[in-house]
Structures are given as structure tokens and as C-alpha cells.
Structure 1
Amino acid sequence: MSALMLALVAGAVVGLALGALGGGGSVLAVPALIYLLGFTPAAATTASLIIVTATSLTALYAHARTGGVRWKAGALFAAAGLLPAAAAGAAASRLPQPVLTAAFAVVAAFAAARMLRPSPATASPASTRSAASGAAPSDPAASGVRPAKAVGTGAGLGALTGLLGVGGGFLAVPALVTVLAFEMRAAVGTSLLVISTNSLASLATRGATTAGVDWAVVAPFTGAAILGAWDGKRLAAKVTGTFLQRAFAVVLLAVAALMLGDAVT
């Protein structure tokens, strides 16, 4: 299969995951770029940030049209991750490639484990009350949540985005549900705002590495991902979120095992 076809197929899968789950697709983008398209780990993380930024902004627009984004709280959450994302992005180019690969494998395995667990939305009384009443907590104080905890979580997601080139949506969604007491629909939409902001901040520190991006591969990958994100949002309305998460988690565990084996050999 040609590099173009591989890029189109991989991009579609990444977009589907981002559109349907509000995150997780970027965890597949990096291994796809490395093992299917021949990128180095450092180049793959930079290319992934470009793909994730464009796709997340597209998916964010789709969710915003249906009122699924909590702009004020999402902006505060994302703002906490701006500096960590920029700092980690600058440091990533100095790390050995096996270290980046191993770190990514660990994060992918952790993401899969989170997805295999029951959704926190079903266990959150606050989110249940919010969904039933139609109200949506718009800031940490309104939810009775400690602002320091929200800021700390946002900073951690920013650092993860900058270092490994992942949007962090697989962590942002449960964090928004449990830390800010969002209902799941708002958490998915708002996570895309967090992903987009962190990815842009990290890209701003990678000017030298973005100059060497193979646009012949990245451009069609990104285009397919953007189209896939729209299909993913429609898919989420037809298939249960639990099924989508578990199926994706199984794929992610296999990817994590492959990358960890590659890093230690």
C-alpha cells in the first residue's frame, strides 16, 4: 500500500476517534506515523501536533454548533496548560528517541486502561443532576471544585501534549467529568477546546522541527482526519460510548505493547 493510502486510512481512524470520543485519536497518530509511514519519534510527535490541532479545531466547531462546549471553564482549564505545553514541547526535541517511544507506550497503555474502566459520568451525582436539569457547570467554583485541582490537572495535560504530541483528550474527558462535574456531552466538546489550545502552544515552540515536516504525508493524513472527525460525531450518536471506548482501548493496548517492545530492544 502506498504512503498516500496509508496516510488516508490512518487519518480517517484518528479523526473517527477524536470526533466520537473527544480524544484518543492522537494516541494512534504517533505510532501510525512511526510504524506505517517511517517517521522518527521526534518528527512523529511534531506531525501529530499539526494533525491533532487541525482535527480538534474542526471537531470543536461541530460540537460548538450543538451547544456542547463550555467555553469559560474550558478556557480556564486550557490556560493552565499553556506554559507547560510550550516548555515540554521545547524539551521534547532533546530527549533520546527510545525514551520518547517508551514514554509514549506507557501513556498509551494508561489511556487504554482508563477507557476500559466504567465511565465516570455514570458515577457522578453532580453530572447526573446537571444533565437532568439542563444546567451545565461553567466554572470550578460553580461545581464546588477546588480551583487548584483544576489548574493542576490542566497543567499536567499541557505538559503531556507538549512532550509526546498527544492532545490529552483521553485524560481531559474524565478530568472534566470528575474535577469540574461536567456531564459527558459537555466534557467531550470542551475537551476539544483544551486539546486545540495545548497543541497550538506546543507547536509554537517547535518552529525548527515543523520546517522539516513531510507535507506530502501530513496534509492528506490531516484532511482524512478532519473528514473522519465529522463522521465520528455522527457515529457517537448511533453507537454506545461504552462499546466505542472498549474497542478503541483494545487497539490501543496492542499499540502500546508494540511500541514498548520496540523501545527496549
Structure 2
Amino acid sequence: MVYIGYLASVVIGLSLGLIGGGGSILTIPILVYLFKIDPKLATSYSLFIVGITALSGCFSHYRMGNLKIKSALFFAIPSVFSILVIREVIILKIPNVLFTINDFQVTKDFLIMIVFAVLMMAASISMIQKKIPQIESVKTNYFQLAIIGSVVGIVTGFLGAGGGFLIIPALIFFANLPMKQAVGTSLLIIFINSSIGFAGDLYIGTPINYTFLLSISTIAFIGMLIGSSLSKKIDGNKLKPFFGWFILVMGIYIIIRELSF
């Protein structure tokens, strides 16, 4: 299972490089089910892996002129605040066992995985849709952008996911960015959110296996390079629906697995 996990880690970067998102949504299932890592710790690891992988994508998009710094900051600053509140205050106060139904215990880990599965299914719907319509507006709505940034911060803080499937439509609808610029700017936002969230976990003393973490991040980075290279020859938008169906099946599998054990 460990070797399958390392192989699956390539997909994290591959999807980010090829279709501009989706890879981070696979990180938690890979860590939990293939590497047998505790879900709460897996969210910390996911923040690092997703952040490093997104950073590598930022450089190529910067060279192509696809990064809009002002929009990224208006989105990321309130998002970071939400992340820190969720990870350093709220999650720490959630008891390990929430309640019991007959002999079945609803634990914090169970809640994380179920909410994550629902997130995966929501993300799959946006991927299965072939195209996000472009909304033409006179100017960027920075207030709405900041509000959505706060919401994405809650998702990222609780689940350790980048939230690219929420960020990209927000940048298109409220920052009036073309798809390529929305993808590039979303990677910058994901890097900022993930790195701050991971730094917060280090501050509160979360135990980290750096050897393992760096090895997974390196493999994901290689996948990112492969995906970026393939994106020049393959239309990522055509592959996104297929990847969306895969994410949907994975989300359903997680719910069935969690309810069966």
C-alpha cells in the first residue's frame, strides 16, 4: 500500500499541472488510506504538500503573466485569518469523541473524513462541468472576493485542502479574471493559505515526520512538472470531466468505508 501511495502522490502534482486544480483533494485520502496517517495529522501534511506543489506552479504562471497579486491578497488575507482561527482554536477544542449512536462512536477523525468526502463530491461537480462561464463586469468586487476568501479559509483550515475548485470560480466571477489568470492566481492563494496554516501547526507543536513529508512533496513536485509539460500538448479542460468523475467515485468510497468500520 505504501508503494501505491507513492505512485498515487504523482497524481497530486500531475492534476495541478495539467488542469490547474484537483490534486489537493486527493492528498488526504492518499495519506489516510494508503499511508495510514491519522486524519488530523494528515491535514497538516496536506497543507505542506499542497503549498509546496502550488508554489512550483506559481513560478511558471508568473513567467506567463498569469498572477494578479492584488486580487490574490484581497482573497488570501481574510482566508489566512479563517485558517488560523479554525486550526489553532476551533479544531483543538473539538473532542475526539463527539457523540455515540448505539455502539457507533462519531469521532473527530470520522467527521473530518465525512466532511472531506462531501467536499470531494462538490469539487467533482465543478470539474465535470465542461466550462465555467465568464462573467464580464466593470470592476473587481474586492469585498465579495474577501468574503469568499474567508469561507475558503474555513475549508482549508478544517480539511487541509487547497480549495482550488472554489477559488477559481470566485476569481472568474468577482475578480473578472480570464481562466488562465484565475488558475495562476489561485495557485498563489493556495500557497499562501497552505504555508500559513502549516506554520500555525508547527507553532502549536504538531509532530512532523519531515523525511516522509519531503519525499511525498518531491514526488508531487515531479508530477507537477510532468503535468505542466503535458498541458502544452493536451487540453486540460477536456480531461477535467474525467478527473471529476474519479473524484466523485473517491468521495462515495470514503463515505462507504467510514460508515462500514
TM-score range, shorter chain: 0.7 to 0.9
Q: What does residue 239 of structure 1 align with?
A: 234
**3-state SS, counterpart of residue 44 of structure 1:** helix
The 4+ residue runs of structure 1 with deviation greater than 6 A are none
Does the alignment pair 1:162 with 2:174? no
Identify which of 255, 258, 264 aligns with 2:250.
255
Gaps of 5+ in 1: 127-141
Distance 2:5 2:210 in 1: 11
Q: What does residue 107 of structure 1 align with?
A: 119
Q: What does residue 91 of structure 2 align with?
A: 92
Distance 1:144 1:14 in 2: 34
Does the alignment pair 1:148 with 2:146? no
Is contact 2:110-2:258 (8 Å) kept? Answer: yes
Does the alignment pair 1:43 with 2:41? yes
What one-letter code is carried by the residue in structure 2 that aligns with 1:174?
A: P
What one-letter code is carried by the residue in structure 2 that aligns with 1:124?
A: Q
1:165-221 deviation per Cα after TM superposition (whole angstroms, max 9, x unaligned): 001112111211122111011011000011011112211321267642333432211
Distance 1:143 1:56 in 2: 30
Aligned Cα RMSD in Å?
1.9
Q: What does residue 197 of structure 1 align with?
A: 192
Does the alignment pair 1:177 with 2:176? no
1:91-146 deviation per Cα after TM superposition (whole angstroms, max 9, x unaligned): 335441111111100000000011112322xx3253xxxxxxxxxxxxxxx84343
Identify which of 11, 16, 20 aligns with 2:18.
20
Distance 1:251 1:93 in 2: 32
Q: CA deviation at 1:18?
A: 1.5
Percent same amino acid among aligned pairs? 29
1:52-80 deviation per Cα after TM superposition (whole angstroms, max 9, x unaligned): 11111111112112211111211221112
Gaps of 5+ in 2: 95-107
Q: What does residue 129 of structure 2 align with?
A: 117
Identify which of 181, 191, 212 aligns with 1:186.
181
Is contact 1:88-1:160 (8 Å) kept? Answer: no
Distance 2:23 2:146 in 1: 24
Identify which of 38, 60, 68 aligns with 2:66.
68
Distance 1:166 1:206 in 2: 15
What one-letter code is carried by the residue in structure 1 that aligns with 2:134?
A: S
Distance 2:127 2:243 in 1: 8
1:31-50 deviation per Cα after TM superposition (whole angstroms, max 9, x unaligned): 00111111111111111111
Query: What is the total number of aligned residue pairs between the two structures?
Result: 246
